[in-house]
Amino acid sequence: MGLEDIVARVRAAEEKAGRAPGSVRLIAVSKVQPDARVRAALEGGHRVFGENYVQEAAAKWPGFRAGFPGVELHMIGPLQSNKARQAVELFDAIHTLDRMSLARKIAAQIDAQGRAPQLFVQVNTGDEPQKAGILVDELPGFLAECRALGLAPEGLMCIPPEADDPAPHFRLLRDLARDQGLDALSMGMSADFEQAIALGATHVRVGSAIFGARDYS
Ligand SMILES: *Cc1c(COP(=O)(O)O)cnc(C)c1O
């Protein structure tokens, strides 16, 4: 596989779905990947990346950004409230807004820093007790509370339960976004990004299919 193949598959999926070329943002998920692989993607011209850990992103991206202008960095992992300051500094988008305590911290940091990352609300579409995300029934109230803080979430994000067919989760997220008047949909990973694009994804988060397997050892 690799970046060029995945870019081609994203373009083909856009076309098949009758979507405009380039309407889907391919977020290359570089968490835990060796710097050489990330650098190769940058040298190949890719500029949109995703990270899961604030610490790792803070160590890695200021250097890459200095060498490669135009990087757009997405936070796609669970965000601790005490990392909100750094996250607002570092990231152009945060996909994992999942509780009011975090919304308050992000709102305060946007005020303090005068810098507002694009926000996605993570939805727990599978109603999984161990998983982060706003429950489906609680989404309208959560969005209203966010807006009352001055935040303007632009989209929704989900991670379907591993054992499930992802399609019903993608459909549910799409319908929720439509009902709430939100345009952006962050859904689809290495195994299912084409399905997600067919169902309206605007942002796909693809790691191992681009960079190879992650080595956590
Ligand atoms: C790691 C991760 C991805 C990328 O996963 P792959 O299966 O390697 O494509 C996407 N989304 C989230 C939230 C992740 O944590």
**pLDDT computed for residue 166 by the predictor:** 98
Index of the ligand 1 atom closest to the CA of residue 193? 9
Choose which residue among 3, 193, 205, 211 to substitute to test ligand 1 binding: the one with the highest number of ligand atoms within 8 A of its C-beta: 205
Index of the ligand 1 atom closest to the CA of residue 52? 15
**pLDDT computed for residue 147 by the predictor:** 98
What distance in Å separates the CA atoms of residue 134 and residue 12, rounded to the nearest whole number? 32
Q: What is the pLDDT of residues 22-37, one digit of tens each?
A: 999 999 999 999 999 9
| Span of 6-15, 145-154, 177-186, 207-216 with lowest mean pLDDT | 207-216
Length of the chain: 217
| Percent of the chain surpassing pLDDT 70 | 100
Full-model pTM = 0.97
CB of 189 closer than 6 A to ligand 1? yes
- Has residue 1 got a pLDDT over 70? no
Q: What is the pLDDT of residues 147-176, one digit of tens each?
A: 999 999 999 999 999 999 999 999 999 999
Q: Which of 86, 125, 91, 88 is nearest to 107 (CA)?
A: 88
| Percent of the chain surpassing pLDDT 90 | 97
**pLDDT computed for residue 215 by the predictor:** 86
What distance in Å separates the CA atoms of residue 109 and residue 47, rounded to the nearest whole number? 25
What distance in Å separates the CA atoms of residue 133 and residue 131, rounded to the nearest whole number? 7
Mean pLDDT of the chain: 97
Q: How far is the CA of 201 from the centre of ligand 1 (A)?
A: 15
Index of the ligand 1 atom closest to the CA of residue 96? 13
Q: How far is the CA of 122 from the centre of ligand 1 (A)?
A: 14
Q: What is the pLDDT of residues 80-133, one digit of tens each?
A: 999 999 999 999 999 999 999 999 999 999 999 999 999 999 999 999 999 999
Query: Which residue's alpha carbon is at the smallest distance from atom 13 of ligand 1?
Result: 76
CB of 54 closer than 6 A to ligand 1? no
Instruction: Give one DSSP letter per residue of 64-77, joined into a string.
Output: HHHHSTT-EEEE-S
- Taking the mean position of all CA atoms in its chain, how far away is CA 40? 21
- Has residue 216 got a pLDDT over 90? no
Index of the ligand 1 atom closest to the CA of residue 95? 13
Which DSSP state fits 171? Answer: H
Instruction: Give one DSSP letter per residue of 80-120, joined into a string.
Output: -GGGHHHHHHH-SEEEEE-SHHHHHHHHHHHHHHT---EEE
Instruction: Give one DSSP letter per residue of 123-148, joined into a string.
Output: B-TT--TTS-SB-GGGHHHHHHHHHH
As beta bridge partners, residue 73 has 49
**Are 48 and 25 spatial neighbours (Cβ–Cβ below 8 Å)?**
yes
Binned at pLDDT 50, 70 and 90, residue 192 comes out as very high
b/e per residue, 23-58, with b = 16+ CB within 10 A? ebbbbbbbbebeeebbeebbeeebebbbbbbbeebe
Q: How far is the CA of 86 from the centre of ligand 1 (A)?
A: 21
